[in-house]
Structure 1
Amino acid sequence: MARPQPQRRDSKPPDGQDYEFYPLTGTNPIRLLYLEPDTANQTLRYTLKAADLSSKSLLVYNCLSYTWAYPQWDKISAVPIDTTHAGDRKKRIDCDGKSIYITENLEFALTRLREDMASIDEDRQERTPMWIDAICIHQESDEERSVQVAKMDEIYRHAQKVIVWLGPEDKDYTSTAVDVLSRLSAVPKEIWNADIPGGLKHPEIYTRLGVGPIYESEWQALGELLMRTWFSRIWVIQETFEAREVIVYCGKHVLSWKQIVEVSELLMVTGLGQAIMEFLDKLTSPLDEEGEEDGNDNDDEETVGSVDDDVGGDVYVGNTLNNQWLFESLREQKEDLKLETLLTYARYFGATGHSDYVYAMRGMWKPAHEDHQRLRESIKPNYKTPVEDVFTAAAYASLIEMGDLNILSLVEDHSLRAARAREEHVANKKERDPKKEKVRSKDLPSWVPDWSIPPIAETLCLNPRPKMGSERWTASKGLPYTSPAEPIERRLRVKGMFITTIAEKAAREPEFLDGIDGIDDMEVFALLELLSNLLDHPSSTVSDLIDSFWRTIIKDTYRDAEAGDEARQAFTSFLTVRIFEIENSLVDPSSPPLETLDSQTPPANDSPHTKLEALLNNISARDATGTIPTYQTVRQIIEKEKENMEFTGINEEDKFFAESFRSAYLGRRLFYTAEDETKGVMLGIGPDSLKKEDEVWAVAGADVPMVLRPRGEGKWRLVGECYVHGIMRGEAVRNGSGGQNIQDKKGMKQVMDIVLV
């Protein structure tokens, strides 16, 4: 019989690697790594043996879950750490007398796991092997990688244990972090919902949780542990998803997976996780990266190194402290998980190859209907498939499974795609890797979400989806919907109804405070400037505009319900606090106190104080609803509270309105539309990168309106979802005809075929 030939290599292995990988044969083959019995000297020797997951005899092995990259959270180090090549395979192991090269972190893991791999299983009287992706999969064979990655869910599901390796311990942090983890895990769940004060220094936090004080150095240690690279890897979701038992190693420490999950959830529920992230962010805020190019306005062309000059200043900060809880949350609901949910979670993790954002989630997607199995096959791992096709296939599979087009709400703002392309371009140049320097940005269709980008804005109607029949918005109600045909050339054919055109958008900052940074929610005054300019519009009453305004900037949602009079009154508190903060940032320490400005030392006519006063008084004088207070009213409220030197709010309603505003407006921009025949001028909030002359459409199958940009010849680019007050429950469709007898209704808006490109 002819000797089998080694597999063809699609890429070059590390220098010095001479192990020959032979093709895997059998029904469902994998390789397993065994530690050789002879360990008299300190050199560890291994052997690889083929096994079959379909074997009738019980296959016993463990899986290792780790990160190829630098394992520790390098930002917290006092000395800069170059992690650029931490994921390179440069450490040699002896396997069957040949050389295989692995990453440094995997070498640490194998050394730590030596005793585990050397122990004898009492039932089988032999050593338990390990499955480790970097060794058991021929990394230079695209074909084998594709086949093996497609069955990783099965590999981890059959494993006796999943061993998590977080990396070596840190002498300054790890022991302390393990102690804090133990203390917090002992807090009973029934008191998690206690009203915990903000920040980390308030002693009441620890009284209410029933634990002793936790100092900043201890929070820092816990942060270092829970921010380790492993927790942000996309593949670890799948690796722990089906695990029978999870054991966590960090250097010499063995941690409880249950404790990690419970503490992560506690941090999320109490808000302490956000407080820790803010604390760590202050400790680790980096200077601006060198080499960033100036932005250009390229309409909506997404090229490497270019960013729309109207790109927002919001920067997403991922809260990795929540990821540990997300793991367990996915495990608990695994029987009902939809692809859309999985892909949404994927965006909060990291992957070296962008296709892995889809491939890692595919392993956990178990379609309920046989018809959807074909869709699952359409995203079967194949590393030769362009990432654009992988993302497009995943988006189409998801919208077919869900039976609507609400996946369009998951499309991130164009500015984020451009910013991500620039970041990757700069990073690749720094690595000085010729292959990576030539990597272009993804050329995705506008309707396909980039699953590799964490979103800034919260979606208007998803995350999680409401139960069937309890949807908050039904903007396309009345439009006939059928599942679109499979995309050709990545183009999606849908139906929709044109509603109106965007006439103007708000500035990002108010003109009178131009150049003043660091004040939360300052942009609300830029929105008031836009409102002030609209008050003379003949087709809309002032009262209607003001009512529409305050509802729109919070997407008509206050404390998770439809906004009412309570929210309108809270708007006054919200404005008052913002004005107090602005005045504090503008006042000269040598000038008279603010409370004397009105009477003793009037500000100059062109001062920010005067312009702010004029803006509020102009709107308030015409506001019969009493929603917008005069500047003098605001000053009186502040005067009344001046004994509270830290004046942080009139009442907690300010906090609730501020939360509603941030939830609705972060990553978005206020706009008003061209005059509508029935509703006059309408106010809305939409993607930050929207422009004048963009169009608002009701798209069949989408619960919220969409901003589209005409490209000619019946094609449009999706800019993103939007909220437009007065049309969120199908009003525009009903007034337009909704596709019923549209040929007989002259002048009515018609349902049209749309090609999204």
Structure 2
Amino acid sequence: MATKSRFYAAHRPVGRQVRVLDLLPGNPGDNVRCEIRVIDLDGDGQYDALSYVWGDRAEEININVSGDCFPVTRNLHGALTRLRDREKHRTLWIDQICIEQANNDERASQVAMMRDIYRRCSCCAIWLGEINQYKKHITVQDARAVFDFFKFSADAQRGLFSSEMPILFQDTDDGACARAAYAAFAMYGNPWWSRVWTIQEAIIPSSAVFLWGSLALPRAVLFLATEKIRMDQMEYYFTDEFASLRILHTPLLRRVLYPIRGFLHSQDDDGPLALLMRWRHRNATDPRDKVYALLGLVPQSVMSSVEHCSYDASPAIVFEQATIDLIRHEGGLRPFIGSADLAHKTPDLASWAIDFASCNVVGNRQLRWWNHFHRHGEFNACGDRTLDLRTRGDSKQIELTGLRIDEILDVGEVYTVNEDESIYLTQVVQIMRGALRLVEDFRSSHPFRNKYTNGESWKSAYWRTMVGDLLMAEFPVQRVEDQHERFVRDLLGQEYLDDSTGVVVDGGVIDHQVSLKTQNDSHKTPIWNHGENELWESVCGMIPNHAFFITQSGYIGIGPASTQPVDEVWIFHGGKVPFVMRRTDASKAMGRHRTLNLVGDAYVHGIMDGQAMEDNHETRNVILS
């Protein structure tokens, strides 16, 4: 450690300076030797940057840096031996060596310049490790077939269909080996695709090349290939046989297509909120890096509270400051959707803050977050009331202006399903029928409530709530119309709501104890297979992992799975959707200023388009903690 301190002290960057490494020439088997120096980031110094995974620090190998013995991880050592030229030195920027990692002040200042470090580099070398590093049976020939597949796809010319079939798609032993190599190269097979830092490293540089052992593939080739083999583009470039095999191997191919499409979305600037949420499944040793590692893709000053990249601030403080920045940038409360997307795991984190350390997984269908994110813009619960946000003290609490709609009376059962599991028709219908019975029970106990709270029929309010009042095809298509009711009626089968008598079967009142017949798993039909139907997708976005509820005054809605009776429905200024809130013990002592915890966003029928705000009810200031 003393050697390291002397080494860094002798080459201390100040201001906009960074250290770079001159990798000295050598032959295979020679010790790795390099010289370190400081350059002005705004000067004309040339260097390449390295994107890689550190790997296990328990397996370190010593190299020589400016005469000092310096330990690096085995994966970095492998990259240096591959990048080394036999005759001339190569100048590199590598975070593991060029930043004094034990110095929090230096680490923060250097990380804050990461955007410019990668933007200024001549080329970024994306090191995926040795070919057989993670899967021992992969050969160079197998790996070459993977890169040849991407080159073949990128070279395809519009309207000129080649009858050649890449090895990756061949039903041969070589094809099977190539597919195994593809799995080793791609997401789930190679840790480079799982690290949050590698996102901006892959996007920001003007030029980049993927290095896998001795093989190289330009980033431009990989990006172009993924564009041409998209489902909506294949017919212009490839034969029907190629297209059918591409569809057959989609589960394998998407391990690269998914992250590359994410890179392209992030490259086009889909906004800081979507950016941070898109990549929250990526891993970081330090949870604060789930924010810091993406700041290079966010316009400067948008997230001013965290752009200094302090490693002295706790993860909770960083996430709270980042969430406040996102709310202010959005000019609304859409970040609250991210705050409630996953259970919090970061200690001492406010309920309204996004816990970026809580990871989701990439499953077989769109994540719940994206469904809520896309739906959000279709509503305007707050009407013309704009965001009124005030921070309090150390940013643990924020103050908002809002309208309390009602207290939740009853909550239905929740159908819990993971992202990589199928959604089954029987369970969905069971939840929908349970919600129907809650409505029936409420009507039975309120016999004079012949109409829903907004004057429409209970039947209309119910079926529109089941689909969230929207047709969805990943993105919203339109608001539902009267003719779409038949979908819900057909889905429920015999059991449906009659506005005069309650639940009916072919015109007659049914036994209220009717329940779904139990089916064996082998006979269950995954609802997701019917994705061509926007109404199926709408139901899939509203029913699983959500809770149906009814309030004291008869509002019905669908909210977070953790919704409980006595929770409250609120609309806040700047909030396009209602939110389920939970009173804290501190509320009792706060007088008019209630203290609330965020449970999550909700669909509440009859108030999604500003109707509650139009009634001029008295709003109040509340504190969120």
Query: Contact 2:379 / 2:576 at 8 angstroms: preserved in 1?
Result: yes
Map of 1:100 onto structure 2:
70
- 1:708 is aligned to 2:576: no
Shift of 1:396: 1.3
Query: Contact 1:17 / 1:101 at 8 angstroms: preserved in 2?
Result: no
501-510 or 445-454, larger mean C-alpha shift? 501-510
Map of 1:52 onto structure 2:
40
User: Residues 75-86 of structure 1 correspond to what in structure 2 (within 5 A)?
Assistant: 86=56
Map of 2:518 onto structure 1:
none
Q: 1:401 aligns with which of 326, 329, 343?
A: 329
Shift of 1:112: 1.3
Would the alpha carbon gap of residues 413 and 689 (structure 1) be closer, same or farther in structure 2, given more than 3 Å must change?
farther
CA deviations over 1:243-275 (Å, ceiling 9, x no partner)? 121111111221131232244456765699998
Q: Give distance in 2, aligned partners of 1:503 and 1:108.
A: 62
Q: Give distance in 2, aligned partners of 1:658 and 1:50.
A: 59
Write the letter of the residue equivalent to 1:450: D
SS of structure 1 residue aligned to 2:8: coil
User: Residues 471-620 of structure 1 correspond to what in structure 2 (within 5 A)?
Assistant: 471-479=377-385, 481-485=387-391, 488-509=394-415, 520-521=424-425, 522-536=427-441, 537=443, 538=447, 539-541=449-451, 544-559=457-472, 560-572=477-489, 574-575=491-492
Q: Give distance in 2, aligned partners of 1:262 and 1:222.
A: 17
User: Residues 103-122 of structure 1 correspond to what in structure 2 (within 5 A)?
Assistant: 103-115=73-85, 118=86, 120=88
Shift of 1:478: 4.1
Query: Contact 2:391 / 2:397 at 8 angstroms: preserved in 1?
Result: no
Shift of 1:540: 4.5
Q: Give distance in 2, aligned partners of 1:462 and 1:104.
A: 41
SS of structure 1 residue aligned to 2:356: coil
SS of structure 2 residue aligned to 1:708: strand
Query: Contact 1:685 / 1:724 at 8 angstroms: preserved in 2?
Result: yes
SS of structure 1 residue aligned to 2:267: helix
Q: Give distance in 2, aligned partners of 1:326 and 1:273.
A: 20
Q: Give distance in 2, aligned partners of 1:43 and 1:252.
A: 19
Shift of 1:52: 1.7
Shift of 1:326: 1.8
CA deviations over 1:502-548 (Å, ceiling 9, x no partner)? 111111359xxxxxx97624133123123124225132459933322
Map of 1:21 onto structure 2:
8
TM-score scaled by length of structure 1: 0.65
499-508 or 89-98, larger mean C-alpha shift? 89-98
- 1:692 is aligned to 2:572: no
- 1:222 is aligned to 2:182: yes
- 1:255 is aligned to 2:242: no
Map of 1:354 onto structure 2:
287
Map of 2:308 onto structure 1:
380
Query: Contact 1:18 / 1:99 at 8 angstroms: preserved in 2?
Result: no
Shift of 1:501: 1.3
TM-score scaled by length of structure 2: 0.78
Q: Give distance in 2, aligned partners of 1:90 and 1:212.
A: 36
Considering fraction of residues, name the structure with more strand. Answer: 2
SS of structure 1 residue aligned to 2:424: coil
Map of 1:163 onto structure 2:
125
Q: Give distance in 2, aligned partners of 1:627 and 1:723.
A: 30
Would the alpha carbon gap of residues 225 and 319 (structure 1) be closer, same or farther in structure 2, given more than 3 Å must change?
closer
Map of 2:541 onto structure 1:
663
Query: Contact 1:668 / 1:685 at 8 angstroms: preserved in 2?
Result: yes
- 1:751 is aligned to 2:613: no
Q: Give distance in 1, aligned partners of 2:42 and 2:83.
A: 27
Write the letter of the residue equivalent to 1:503: L
- 1:175 is aligned to 2:144: yes
Map of 1:426 onto structure 2:
none
Query: Contact 1:34 / 1:47 at 8 angstroms: preserved in 2?
Result: yes
Write the letter of the residue equivalent to 2:468: K
Query: Contact 1:174 / 1:221 at 8 angstroms: preserved in 2?
Result: yes
Shift of 1:397: 1.5
Map of 1:365 onto structure 2:
298
Would the alpha carbon gap of residues 212 and 180 (structure 1) be closer, same or farther in structure 2, given more than 3 Å must change?
closer
Shift of 1:481: 3.6
Q: 1:43 aligns with which of 27, 31, 47?
A: 31
Q: Give distance in 2, aligned partners of 1:159 and 1:752.
A: 53
- 1:91 is aligned to 2:4: no
Map of 1:591 onto structure 2:
none
Shift of 1:146: 0.9
Write the letter of the residue equivalent to 2:424: D
Structure 1 gaps, min length 5: 1-11, 70-85, 121-126, 192-205, 281-317, 422-440, 466-470, 511-516, 577-612, 632-644, 676-680, 738-748
Shift of 1:657: 2.5
Would the alpha carbon gap of residues 188 and 628 (structure 1) be closer, same or farther in structure 2, given more than 3 Å must change?
farther
Q: Give distance in 1, aligned partners of 2:57 and 2:491.
A: 48
Shift of 1:457: 1.9
Q: Give distance in 2, aligned partners of 1:674 and 1:484.
A: 31
CA RMSD of aligned residues (A): 4.1
Write the letter of the residue equivalent to 1:660: S
Query: Contact 2:581 / 2:596 at 8 angstroms: preserved in 1?
Result: yes
Query: Contact 1:91 / 1:107 at 8 angstroms: preserved in 2?
Result: yes
Would the alpha carbon gap of residues 279 and 51 (structure 1) be closer, same or farther in structure 2, given more than 3 Å must change?
closer
Would the alpha carbon gap of residues 541 and 90 (structure 1) be closer, same or farther in structure 2, given more than 3 Å must change?
same
Query: Contact 2:414 / 2:544 at 8 angstroms: preserved in 1?
Result: no
Would the alpha carbon gap of residues 108 and 341 (structure 1) be closer, same or farther in structure 2, given more than 3 Å must change?
same
Would the alpha carbon gap of residues 391 and 119 (structure 1) be closer, same or farther in structure 2, given more than 3 Å must change?
farther
Shift of 1:279: 7.0
Would the alpha carbon gap of residues 322 and 486 (structure 1) be closer, same or farther in structure 2, given more than 3 Å must change?
farther
State the identity %: 23
User: Residues 385-464 of structure 1 correspond to what in structure 2 (within 5 A)?
Assistant: 385-413=313-341, 416-417=343-344, 421=345, 441-454=346-359, 456-458=367-369, 462-463=373-374
Q: 1:31 aligns with which of 19, 22, 31?
A: 19
Q: Give distance in 1, aligned partners of 2:249 and 2:315.
A: 35
Q: Give distance in 1, aligned partners of 2:45 and 2:337.
A: 44
SS of structure 2 residue aligned to 1:701: coil
Query: Contact 1:504 / 1:672 at 8 angstroms: preserved in 2?
Result: yes
Write the letter of the residue equivalent to 2:293: A
Q: Give distance in 2, aligned partners of 1:656 and 1:732.
A: 29
Question: How many residues get paired?
Answer: 557
Shift of 1:691: 0.9
SS of structure 1 residue aligned to 2:358: coil
180-189 or 92-101, larger mean C-alpha shift? 180-189
Would the alpha carbon gap of residues 662 and 273 (structure 1) be closer, same or farther in structure 2, given more than 3 Å must change?
farther
Shift of 1:693: 0.7
